[in-house]
Amino acid sequence: MLNYLKILLYPFSLLYGLIMWTRNRFYDNKVLTAVEFDLPVIAVGNLSVGGTGKTPHVEYLIRLLKDRFHIATLSRGYNRRTKGYLLADEDSTASQLGDEPMQFHQKYPDISVCVGEERMLAIPQLLMEKPDTQVILLDDAFQHRSVKPGMNIMITDYSRRFTKDHVVPFGRLREGRKGYERANCIIVSKCPPGLSETEKIAIRQEINPLPGQQVYFTTLQYGQLYDMFSSEPVTIPTATTLLLVAGIARPEPLLQQLKSSHREVFLLSFPDHYYYAGHDLDKIQRELGNLPGDHKMVITTEKDAVRLQLLAPQLRERNITIAVMPVEISFLFGEGDSFNNYIFDYVERFGSNHD
């Protein structure tokens, strides 16, 4: 039945793909104009509708660049409850910025974090407020072609590579596969840590990069659990029963990670970017109470944590303790230094060309 429904969606997929193809040709042929800015702009995005691990890659770039340059991130602020341009400050919340920008702001308070649906208008506003900005990271901007970045980084999930996918609603692509040609750099994310050299070569051949396009492979690395309120490290005995509360596109990698160290792990899933309400806390408390074992703990992601913090008083009233699992990325095949130098070369070359 599911396959039959997908076949029915195929004509809509063709129509949407044609619309996106036409739009892209207009930009390629300068019928529609893209704005360029006089500083390094790095866009990080994907062809698919989410779950590629984009956020930890943006954070990798933040950590790489922030000690050498004044950097800023600019996101649309998906599912936030505000409109227009907004620069994060000490009073900002996830509902104002969106969960991912709020996560950047909390973890890296020394950088500028801003949101704005219209990137070409938001960047001048950012530069007026933060004139010392030297590098801008555009979050989830691969399809936002009104701004022409100096570097386009496209991320594709190892288990859902764009080469084997189709345009929505038949598949998960936001535009046709040939969109990859705009990328300067393609990162295959969420790879198995033990990915073989043979499979790496096969995937690279499958992608068929253009001359000059860089291809890298990354895997997820989970860090030390910490308490959502105190930020203190949390150590959980292996006999503890875990309830993973997750409102993200693909919780499966984290679920498998937890199952590798704990025997009893249960998932309570919510929609991606979901804003929790009081009745959801009741549900979490009820699910936790029904789990087996004497020792139980709620685990969540950093994205979920910034949204759950909006309900901090209710969580404290219910005495619900939550541990947060951070995630980072690591480059496979010893290619981290190569990627770092690739980024630094672009930023520094841009600066030397505009002195």
- Whole-angstrom distance, CA of residue 73 vs CA of residue 75: 7
pLDDT digits (tens, 9 = 90+) for 206-222: 999 999 999 999 999 99
3-state secondary structure of 171: coil
Q: What is the mean pLDDT of the chain?
A: 92
Residue 319 pLDDT greater than 70, yes or no: yes
- Whole-angstrom distance, CA of residue 74 vs CA of residue 278: 31
Query: What percent of the chain clears pLDDT 70, i.e. is strictly above it?
Result: 96
- Whole-angstrom distance, CA of residue 181 vs CA of residue 170: 22
- Whole-angstrom distance, CA of residue 151 vs CA of residue 188: 17
Least confident of 35-39, 50-54, 345-349: 50-54
Query: CA neighbours within 13 Å on the CB side: how many for 229?
Result: 10
pLDDT digits (tens, 9 = 90+) for 79-111: 899 999 999 999 999 999 999 999 999 999 999
Rounded to an integer, the average pLDDT of 236-257 is 92
Looking at per-residue confidence, does 30 or 180 come out higher? 180
CB 85 within 8 A of CB 121: yes
Confidence of residue 171 (pLDDT cuts 50, 70, 90): confident
* pLDDT at residue number 6: 62
Looking at per-residue confidence, does 19 or 226 come out higher? 226
Which among 343, 355, 337 is positioned nearest to 150, based on CA atoms?
Answer: 343
Least confident of 28-37, 62-71, 293-302: 28-37
**Which residues 6+ apart lie within 8 Å of 26 measured at CB?**
32
* pLDDT at residue number 19: 79
**Token pair belonging to 271:** 């929609």
Residue 204 pLDDT greater than 90, yes or no: yes
Rounded to an integer, the average pLDDT of 280-294 is 92
| Strand bridging mode 112-115 / 226-227 | unpaired
* pLDDT at residue number 217: 98
- Whole-angstrom distance, CA of residue 297 vs CA of residue 311: 18
Which among 133, 190, 115 is positioned nearest to 157, based on CA atoms?
Answer: 190
Task: List, in sequence order, the alpha helices (H) in 39-109.
Answer: 54-65, 94-97, 99-107
Rounded to an integer, the average pLDDT of 331-339 is 98
* pLDDT at residue number 2: 45
Model pTM?
0.93
Which among 115, 139, 137, 120 is positioned nearest to 33, based on CA atoms?
Answer: 120
* pLDDT at residue number 329: 97
